Structure 1
Amino acid sequence: MAGSVALDDSTNSTLNLVDRIVIHPEFDGSRLPERDIALIRLANSLIFDSRINAIAIPEQGYTPERVLGCTMAGWGAESYLGDIPLDMRVQKLRTHDFALCNNSYSILSVSLPEETQCAIRPILGTSVPCTGEWGGPLVCTRDAAEGPVLLGLASGDPIPCGFTIFNIELFSLPYMFTRISSFTDWIYQTIQEPAEAEASMFQK
């Protein structure tokens, strides 16, 4: 579905079938953002308009050198195993230094893979990524003239959202995303050379 922010909106949305899904060949089902990325090919091309459009992806190897303002949007629940909302939720986030992020997860004895993009809430107490959110976009602005860029995909679930350890709210930990720029070359190669990716494709 494209073109709407409400799952029950059949008037403004465009439905499209999935033709193929390409899962990264080295993804092993890890609960961390370790090659946790896939491409979806639609059965029909989308028609861009005021509600449907493309977004840029960063160049291979790009890492933010300063804090970027970001937005995450999706239909994730507000609590672990909670109901999925019909209306899309939007959360303001900002990028977070990888080394600091990795150190934050030492409480869980978790070491983050290098392809992790971390983000944090500007204000504690606001909603966070939760059940049903994984795969959702982390859209950030690098430069006002450049426009938004897809920096990450919601990933990683070492602990269920809403849990606490030693009375520490785990919502306060940085959120993990698959860093798109770690896979830019793979994305373009897969798009341009579908025959080589056939072994990783699953027909719907």
Structure 2
Amino acid sequence: MGKVAFVVLCSLAAAMALPAKVGRIMGGDVAAPGQFPFSASMQFDGYHYCSATILDEYTVITVANCVLTSFPTTMRVITGMNRITTGGEVHEVKTVVAHGRFAASLQYDIALLKLATPITFNELAQPVKLPTATTGSNEDVTLTGWGSTEYPGNIVDDLRYIDLKTMDYQKCNNRQSFQVFFNQICTLTKSGEGLCQGDAGAPLVAKDGSLVGIASWGTMCAVGDPDVYTSIYHFLDWIEENRV
């Protein structure tokens, strides 16, 4: 049987004609409280389905495949916690801005959520830094998320993280069933480490703590093929134009 390619989609977007969804961080460790204060959980009817990253007190960033632009009021964003069932600050979503070209190509898999109430910044909730340069190959990066740790499996309660290495997008393209573009980042360490269900939109940060990517798609689940992220650096102008 051939490999099954999947997009790191939330269940709400699963009907789109795209590769199948993914979710959890496999092979990672449990994060300490406040270790990654920029991480946020996107929830629907009280259940985590995607991750987001805090940009400022009213804005979080995620991938377009996680959002329903017609129904922002059905979503909630939880900030300032490590466990999705304990604590945190709940925010209703006022506006969703998905990239206008996402429907045509996964290379535009990015969206901003404007919150109805401001995020309270403290040791558990802080905005992330944005990158100032492109991300090359063989760079050290860290992925965080609440996705499941086995396939099939359930979303985990504790925030988890894993240290990964980036790889050249052209080499990544040669190993994937779907096209990989210059404005995407790939990671690959070894089989058993990477994305799975629930990690869509999860932040990928560089050693300096800047947000270099957000989880878009991969081959389920951590089977030894590269995972693919939207490169934040290539969308800095779009972010600034749409975060106001």
Shorter-chain TM-score bucket reads 0.7 to 0.9
Q: Retained in 2: the 8 A contact 1:78–1:127?
A: no
Over aligned residue pairs, what C-alpha RMSD do you find? 1.9
Which residue of the other structure, out of 155, 163, 167, is the alignment partner of 2:216? Answer: 155
2:111 corresponds to: 38
1:6 aligns with one of 58, 72, 83: 83
Task: Map 1:40-189 onto structure 2 (within 5 A).
Answer: 40-59=113-132, 62-65=133-136, 67-105=138-176, 108=177, 110-121=178-189, 124-141=190-207, 147-157=208-218, 159=219, 161-162=220-221, 171-189=223-241
**TM-score normalized by the length of structure 1:** 0.75
Residue number in structure 2 paired with 1:26? 101
Instruction: Specify whether residues 113 and 66 from structure 1 end up closer, same or farther in structure 2 by C-alpha distance, changes over 3 A only.
Output: closer
Which whole-Å deviations, capped at 9, do the CAs of 1:9-33 have from their partners, x for residues lacking one? Answer: 12xx111111111110111175xx4
The alignment partner of 2:241 has SS state of helix
Residues 142-191 of structure 1: per-residue CA shift (max 9 Å, x gap): xxxxx31100000024x4x14xxxxxxx6211110011111110010112
**Residue 97 of structure 1, CA deviation:** 1.4
Q: How far apart are 1:125 and its partner, in Å?
A: 4.5
Q: Which has the larger radius of gyration?
A: 1
Look up the equivalent residue of 1:190 and give its one-letter code.
N
What is the count of residue pairs matched by the alignment?
167
Question: Measured at CA, do residues 29 and 128 of structure 1 come closer, stay the same or move farther in structure 2, by a change above 3 Å?
Answer: farther
* CA distance, structure 1, for counterparts of residue 95 and residue 195 of structure 2: 27
| Local SS of the residue matching 2:142 | strand
Residues 112 and 66 of structure 1: is their aligned pair in 2 closer, same or farther, counting only changes over 3 Å?
A: closer
Shift of 1:74: 0.8
* Deviation at residue 126 of structure 1 after TM alignment: 4.1
Matched residue, 1:197: none
Q: What is the alpha-carbon distance in structure 1 between the residues aligned to residue 147 and residue 214 of structure 2?
A: 13
* 2:59 alignment partner in structure 1: none
* 8 Å contact kept, 2:170–2:180: no
Contact 2:169–2:181, Cα closer than 8 Å, also in 1? no
The runs of 5 or more residues in structure 1 that have no matched partner are 142-146, 163-169, 193-204
The offset of 1:135, in angstroms, is 0.5
Per the TM alignment, residue 57 of structure 1 is displaced from its structure 2 partner at its CA by: 1.1
Extract unaligned runs of 5+ from structure 2. Answer: 1-77
Partner Cα distance (1:112, 1:5) in 2: 32
Q: Contact 2:191–2:225 (CA<8 Å) still a contact in 1?
A: no
Q: 1:175, 1:23 → 2: CA distance?
A: 21
